[in-house]
Structure 1
Protein backbone atom coordinates (compact mmCIF):
# COMPACT_ATOMS: atom_id res chain seq x y z
CA UNK A 1 0.00 0.00 0.00
CA UNK A 2 2.77 2.46 0.78
CA UNK A 3 4.06 2.19 -2.78
CA UNK A 4 0.63 3.11 -4.08
CA UNK A 5 0.41 6.10 -1.73
CA UNK A 6 3.92 7.24 -2.62
CA UNK A 7 2.81 7.42 -6.25
CA UNK A 8 0.08 9.98 -5.48
CA UNK A 9 1.49 13.34 -6.60
CA UNK A 10 -0.72 15.74 -4.62
CA UNK A 11 0.04 16.17 -0.89
CA UNK A 12 -1.11 18.32 2.00
CA UNK A 13 -0.48 18.03 5.75
CA UNK A 14 -2.50 19.65 8.54
CA UNK A 15 -1.49 19.53 12.22
CA UNK A 16 -4.02 20.57 14.86
CA UNK A 17 -4.43 20.55 18.62
CA UNK A 18 -6.43 17.46 19.64
CA UNK A 19 -9.41 19.53 20.75
CA UNK A 20 -13.05 19.88 19.66
CA UNK A 21 -12.51 22.50 16.92
CA UNK A 22 -10.14 20.08 15.15
CA UNK A 23 -13.09 18.26 13.56
CA UNK A 24 -14.50 21.41 11.94
CA UNK A 25 -11.08 22.67 10.86
CA UNK A 26 -10.15 19.31 9.34
CA UNK A 27 -13.44 19.16 7.38
CA UNK A 28 -13.06 22.72 6.10
CA UNK A 29 -9.44 22.08 5.14
CA UNK A 30 -10.46 18.89 3.32
CA UNK A 31 -13.03 20.80 1.28
CA UNK A 32 -10.44 23.46 0.39
CA UNK A 33 -7.78 20.91 -0.54
CA UNK A 34 -10.17 18.91 -2.73
CA UNK A 35 -11.29 22.10 -4.50
CA UNK A 36 -7.67 23.14 -5.10
CA UNK A 37 -6.98 19.69 -6.52
CA UNK A 38 -9.95 19.88 -8.89
CA UNK A 39 -12.09 17.29 -7.12
CA UNK A 40 -15.60 18.69 -7.38
CA UNK A 41 -17.70 19.04 -4.22
CA UNK A 42 -20.56 16.98 -5.67
CA UNK A 43 -18.32 13.97 -6.49
CA UNK A 44 -19.96 10.89 -4.90
CA UNK A 45 -16.91 10.19 -2.71
CA UNK A 46 -16.66 13.66 -1.12
CA UNK A 47 -19.52 13.57 1.42
CA UNK A 48 -18.60 10.07 2.65
CA UNK A 49 -14.92 11.12 2.83
CA UNK A 50 -15.87 14.11 4.99
CA UNK A 51 -17.90 11.91 7.31
CA UNK A 52 -15.11 9.32 7.56
CA UNK A 53 -12.58 12.05 8.29
CA UNK A 54 -14.86 13.57 10.94
CA UNK A 55 -15.22 10.21 12.70
CA UNK A 56 -11.46 9.59 12.70
CA UNK A 57 -10.61 13.07 13.98
CA UNK A 58 -13.34 12.79 16.63
CA UNK A 59 -11.85 9.49 17.80
CA UNK A 60 -8.39 11.06 18.10
CA UNK A 61 -9.79 14.01 20.06
CA UNK A 62 -11.84 11.78 22.38
CA UNK A 63 -9.43 8.93 22.96
CA UNK A 64 -5.89 10.01 22.12
CA UNK A 65 -5.69 13.60 23.41
CA UNK A 66 -4.28 12.68 26.85
CA UNK A 67 -1.24 11.09 25.18
CA UNK A 68 -1.29 13.09 21.95
CA UNK A 69 -1.90 16.82 22.33
CA UNK A 70 -1.77 17.19 18.53
CA UNK A 71 -3.13 15.19 15.64
CA UNK A 72 -2.13 15.31 12.00
CA UNK A 73 -4.24 14.86 8.90
CA UNK A 74 -2.31 13.81 5.80
CA UNK A 75 -3.96 14.14 2.39
CA UNK A 76 -2.79 12.62 -0.90
CA UNK A 77 -4.46 12.34 -4.29
CA UNK A 78 -3.88 11.32 -7.86
CA UNK A 79 -6.00 11.05 -10.95
CA UNK A 80 -8.14 8.16 -9.65
CA UNK A 81 -7.51 8.15 -5.90
CA UNK A 82 -8.02 10.27 -2.80
CA UNK A 83 -6.27 9.10 0.37
CA UNK A 84 -6.09 10.60 3.81
CA UNK A 85 -4.85 9.61 7.23
CA UNK A 86 -5.42 10.77 10.75
CA UNK A 87 -2.32 10.35 12.90
CA UNK A 88 -2.00 10.63 16.67
CA UNK A 89 0.54 9.54 19.24
CA UNK A 90 -1.69 7.13 21.14
CA UNK A 91 -0.35 3.57 20.80
CA UNK A 92 -3.72 1.77 20.61
CA UNK A 93 -4.39 0.41 17.13
CA UNK A 94 -8.11 -0.28 16.70
CA UNK A 95 -9.12 -3.45 14.84
CA UNK A 96 -10.83 -1.97 11.79
CA UNK A 97 -12.18 -5.18 10.29
CA UNK A 98 -13.94 -6.23 13.48
CA UNK A 99 -15.69 -2.83 13.47
CA UNK A 100 -17.55 -4.00 10.35
CA UNK A 101 -19.14 -6.95 12.11
CA UNK A 102 -20.21 -5.13 15.29
CA UNK A 103 -23.77 -3.87 15.10
CA UNK A 104 -24.31 -0.41 16.45
CA UNK A 105 -20.56 0.11 16.69
CA UNK A 106 -20.86 3.75 15.65
CA UNK A 107 -17.63 5.56 14.73
CA UNK A 108 -15.30 2.93 13.29
CA UNK A 109 -18.20 0.79 12.09
CA UNK A 110 -19.44 3.77 10.09
CA UNK A 111 -15.93 4.46 8.80
CA UNK A 112 -15.54 0.91 7.56
CA UNK A 113 -19.05 0.66 6.11
CA UNK A 114 -18.59 3.86 4.09
CA UNK A 115 -15.03 3.04 3.03
CA UNK A 116 -15.83 -0.47 1.85
CA UNK A 117 -19.10 0.68 0.26
CA UNK A 118 -17.11 3.06 -1.95
CA UNK A 119 -14.65 0.34 -2.91
CA UNK A 120 -11.96 1.87 -0.72
CA UNK A 121 -9.49 0.51 1.77
CA UNK A 122 -8.66 1.26 5.39
CA UNK A 123 -5.51 0.31 7.25
CA UNK A 124 -3.91 1.14 10.58
CA UNK A 125 -0.17 1.79 10.39
CA UNK A 126 1.75 1.93 13.65
CA UNK A 127 4.61 4.35 14.15
CA UNK A 128 8.07 2.75 14.07
CA UNK A 129 8.51 3.40 17.80
CA UNK A 130 5.11 1.88 18.68
CA UNK A 131 3.99 5.14 20.26
CA UNK A 132 1.34 6.19 17.78
CA UNK A 133 -0.54 5.28 14.64
CA UNK A 134 -2.14 6.53 11.44
CA UNK A 135 -5.45 5.30 10.09
CA UNK A 136 -5.24 5.54 6.29
CA UNK A 137 -8.34 5.65 4.11
CA UNK A 138 -7.98 5.30 0.34
CA UNK A 139 -11.00 6.00 -1.87
CA UNK A 140 -11.36 5.62 -5.63
CA UNK A 141 -12.34 8.77 -7.49
CA UNK A 142 -13.38 7.22 -10.75
CA UNK A 143 -17.09 6.83 -11.15
CA UNK A 144 -18.37 3.52 -12.47
CA UNK A 145 -19.46 3.63 -16.06
CA UNK A 146 -23.05 2.68 -16.72
CA UNK A 147 -23.84 0.58 -19.76
CA UNK A 148 -27.23 0.74 -21.33
Structure 2
Protein backbone atom coordinates (compact mmCIF):
# COMPACT_ATOMS: atom_id res chain seq x y z
CA UNK A 1 0.00 0.00 0.00
CA UNK A 2 1.34 3.43 -0.93
CA UNK A 3 1.82 5.78 2.04
CA UNK A 4 -0.47 8.81 1.94
CA UNK A 5 -3.16 7.17 -0.21
CA UNK A 6 -6.73 7.10 1.11
CA UNK A 7 -6.46 3.34 1.74
CA UNK A 8 -3.24 3.75 3.73
CA UNK A 9 -4.67 6.67 5.69
CA UNK A 10 -7.82 4.69 6.49
CA UNK A 11 -5.73 1.91 8.02
CA UNK A 12 -3.83 4.42 10.19
CA UNK A 13 -6.95 6.32 11.32
CA UNK A 14 -9.20 4.73 13.96
CA UNK A 15 -12.87 4.36 13.08
CA UNK A 16 -13.92 6.46 16.10
CA UNK A 17 -12.25 9.72 17.14
CA UNK A 18 -13.15 12.16 19.90
CA UNK A 19 -11.94 15.64 20.77
CA UNK A 20 -12.73 18.20 23.47
CA UNK A 21 -13.15 21.86 22.51
CA UNK A 22 -13.09 25.08 24.48
CA UNK A 23 -16.43 26.93 24.49
CA UNK A 24 -15.20 29.58 22.04
CA UNK A 25 -16.17 30.56 18.49
CA UNK A 26 -12.75 29.48 17.16
CA UNK A 27 -13.67 25.89 18.10
CA UNK A 28 -16.20 25.81 15.24
CA UNK A 29 -13.54 26.17 12.53
CA UNK A 30 -11.19 23.80 14.31
CA UNK A 31 -13.94 21.17 14.56
CA UNK A 32 -14.56 21.54 10.80
CA UNK A 33 -10.85 21.00 10.10
CA UNK A 34 -10.73 18.01 12.45
CA UNK A 35 -13.73 16.47 10.67
CA UNK A 36 -12.36 17.18 7.18
CA UNK A 37 -9.04 15.53 8.08
CA UNK A 38 -10.74 12.36 9.27
CA UNK A 39 -13.18 12.20 6.36
CA UNK A 40 -10.22 12.41 4.00
CA UNK A 41 -8.37 9.69 5.93
CA UNK A 42 -11.46 7.47 5.82
CA UNK A 43 -11.92 7.97 2.07
CA UNK A 44 -15.11 9.97 2.66
CA UNK A 45 -14.02 13.36 1.36
CA UNK A 46 -17.08 13.35 -0.94
CA UNK A 47 -19.17 14.01 2.21
CA UNK A 48 -16.91 16.80 3.44
CA UNK A 49 -18.88 19.88 2.38
CA UNK A 50 -22.19 18.72 3.87
CA UNK A 51 -20.54 17.22 6.96
CA UNK A 52 -18.59 20.41 7.66
CA UNK A 53 -21.81 22.45 7.51
CA UNK A 54 -23.46 20.03 9.92
CA UNK A 55 -20.59 20.05 12.43
CA UNK A 56 -20.44 23.86 12.17
CA UNK A 57 -24.10 24.18 13.11
CA UNK A 58 -23.91 21.67 15.96
CA UNK A 59 -20.71 23.04 17.49
CA UNK A 60 -21.97 26.62 17.13
CA UNK A 61 -25.12 25.66 19.05
CA UNK A 62 -23.00 24.06 21.78
CA UNK A 63 -20.70 27.09 22.02
CA UNK A 64 -23.68 29.44 22.25
CA UNK A 65 -25.78 27.39 24.67
CA UNK A 66 -23.55 25.20 26.89
CA UNK A 67 -23.43 27.18 30.10
CA UNK A 68 -23.15 26.52 33.83
CA UNK A 69 -24.25 25.10 36.23
CA UNK A 70 -22.43 22.10 34.77
CA UNK A 71 -19.65 23.93 32.94
CA UNK A 72 -18.92 24.60 29.31
CA UNK A 73 -17.85 21.14 28.20
CA UNK A 74 -18.06 20.55 24.44
CA UNK A 75 -16.80 17.48 22.63
CA UNK A 76 -17.14 15.91 19.23
CA UNK A 77 -17.20 12.23 18.44
CA UNK A 78 -16.87 11.04 14.85
CA UNK A 79 -17.59 7.47 13.83
CA UNK A 80 -16.74 6.00 10.46
CA UNK A 81 -19.72 4.01 9.18
CA UNK A 82 -19.80 1.62 6.25
CA UNK A 83 -21.27 4.27 3.95
CA UNK A 84 -20.77 7.50 5.85
CA UNK A 85 -20.08 9.19 9.14
CA UNK A 86 -21.87 9.71 12.43
CA UNK A 87 -21.18 13.10 14.00
CA UNK A 88 -21.92 13.68 17.67
CA UNK A 89 -21.58 16.92 19.59
CA UNK A 90 -21.82 16.67 23.38
CA UNK A 91 -22.38 19.60 25.70
CA UNK A 92 -23.29 20.15 29.34
CA UNK A 93 -26.62 21.92 28.79
CA UNK A 94 -29.69 19.74 29.46
CA UNK A 95 -31.92 21.82 27.14
CA UNK A 96 -32.69 19.81 24.02
CA UNK A 97 -32.81 21.89 20.84
CA UNK A 98 -35.71 21.56 18.44
CA UNK A 99 -35.87 22.23 14.74
CA UNK A 100 -37.91 25.33 14.01
CA UNK A 101 -38.85 27.46 11.05
CA UNK A 102 -37.32 30.92 11.40
CA UNK A 103 -39.05 33.88 9.84
CA UNK A 104 -37.36 35.87 7.10
CA UNK A 105 -36.67 38.68 9.58
CA UNK A 106 -34.84 36.48 12.10
CA UNK A 107 -31.05 36.41 11.93
CA UNK A 108 -30.70 32.93 13.44
CA UNK A 109 -32.73 29.80 14.05
CA UNK A 110 -32.15 27.95 10.77
CA UNK A 111 -29.31 25.67 11.87
CA UNK A 112 -31.24 22.52 12.71
CA UNK A 113 -33.43 22.94 9.63
CA UNK A 114 -30.21 22.92 7.60
CA UNK A 115 -28.95 19.85 9.48
CA UNK A 116 -32.27 18.13 8.80
CA UNK A 117 -31.98 18.74 5.04
CA UNK A 118 -28.30 17.80 4.80
CA UNK A 119 -28.79 14.54 6.72
CA UNK A 120 -32.09 13.55 5.15
CA UNK A 121 -33.66 13.69 8.62
CA UNK A 122 -31.03 11.41 10.18
CA UNK A 123 -30.29 13.43 13.30
CA UNK A 124 -31.54 13.71 16.82
CA UNK A 125 -30.90 14.59 20.44
CA UNK A 126 -30.13 12.00 23.09
CA UNK A 127 -29.27 11.89 26.75
CA UNK A 128 -25.72 11.08 27.66
CA UNK A 129 -23.87 9.90 30.73
CA UNK A 130 -23.64 12.83 33.12
CA UNK A 131 -25.25 16.23 32.67
CA UNK A 132 -26.12 17.57 29.27
CA UNK A 133 -27.01 16.06 25.94
CA UNK A 134 -25.66 14.66 22.72
CA UNK A 135 -26.83 15.97 19.34
CA UNK A 136 -26.05 13.43 16.63
CA UNK A 137 -26.32 13.28 12.86
CA UNK A 138 -25.51 10.74 10.19
CA UNK A 139 -24.42 11.49 6.65
CA UNK A 140 -24.31 8.60 4.20
CA UNK A 141 -24.05 8.56 0.46
CA UNK A 142 -25.37 5.21 -0.68
CA UNK A 143 -29.04 5.55 0.17
CA UNK A 144 -29.06 2.77 2.76
CA UNK A 145 -30.75 3.11 6.12
CA UNK A 146 -28.32 4.43 8.71
CA UNK A 147 -28.07 3.57 12.41
CA UNK A 148 -29.56 6.02 14.92
Same-fold call, TM > 0.5? yes
Question: Would you identify which runs of 4 or more consecutive aligned residues in structure 1 move more than 4 Å?
Answer: none
TM-score normalised by the chain length of structure 2: 0.75
Indicate which of 8, 18, 33 corresponds to 2:38. Answer: 33
Match of 1:55 among 51, 54, 57: 57
Contact map agreement 1:16 1:70 (CA 8 A) in 2? yes
Match for residue 109 of structure 1 among 104, 107, 113 = 113
1:1-148 alignment runs, 5 A limit: 10-40=15-45, 43=46, 45-66=47-68, 67-96=70-99, 99=100, 102-104=101-103, 105-116=109-120, 121-129=122-130, 131-142=131-142
Deviations 1:86-125 (A, max 9, x none): 00010001124xx3xx244311121112222xxx500101
Does structure 1 retain, via aligned residues, the 8 Å contact 2:88–2:136?
yes
The alpha carbon displacement at 1:39 in A equals 1.6
TM-score by length of 1: 0.75
What is the CA–CA distance in structure 1 between the aligned matches of 2:82 and 2:22, rounded to whole Å? Answer: 31
Are the counterparts in 1 of residues 98 and 112 from structure 2 also a CA contact under 8 Å? no
Tell me the distance in 1 between the aligned counterparts of 2:126 and 2:26: 25
Runs of 5+ unmatched residues, structure 2: 1-13, 104-108
Q: Secondary structure at the match of 1:25?
A: helix
SS in 2 for 1:91: coil
The alignment of Structure 1 onto Structure 2 pairs a total of residues equal to: 125
Relative contact order, higher structure (CA 8 A, sep 6+): 1
